[in-house]
Amino acid sequence: MIEAGTKAPGFSLPDQDGNEVSLADFAGRKLVLAFYPLDFSPVCTDQLSLYQEVLAEIDSRGASLVGISVDSSYCHRAFREQLGLRMPLLADFNPKGEVSRAYGAWIDQVDHGNRSLVLIDEGEVKWAYASPSPLEIPGANLIFDALAG
């Protein structure tokens, strides 16, 4: 997992609508990257639904949250619509997992991202967390603790 104090790796990934979203788009604002394995899996559905419930509070603390997985933009759009999600979902699709790997949020054995959270501010990683298992959801309390710290 990427360590606090590290310069955040730049990225440019398509969102659920095919629009390119880059790290630079969040300049001047804190950014929480929420890496997750796959759209439509039961645990991922719970994870993103939880973050949707607290999205307004994250925003009120001066931060944005985006989800990142290896699914395509088309899959992200359907997943987002089904769950009523408002946060952007970025497709780390091609090359598969490139951004997830750059942030240390990748599990080679299963060939997809791990459930991980990364807080970036002013281009620097301020905090990062990797779940010990892809079945364990990083709670919203971790995000709020990181934003307060």
Which residues are tagged catalytic?
44
Answer yes or no: are the C-beta atoms of 47 and 141 closer than 8 Å.
no
Edge-to-edge strands of the sheet including 89-91?
89-91, 63-69, 30-35, 116-121, 124-130
DSSP letters spanning 120-137: EETTEEEEEEE-SSTTSP
Amino acid at 67: G
Is-contact 117 108, C-beta < 8 A?
no
Which of 102, 72, 77, 103 has its CA nearest to residue 88? 77
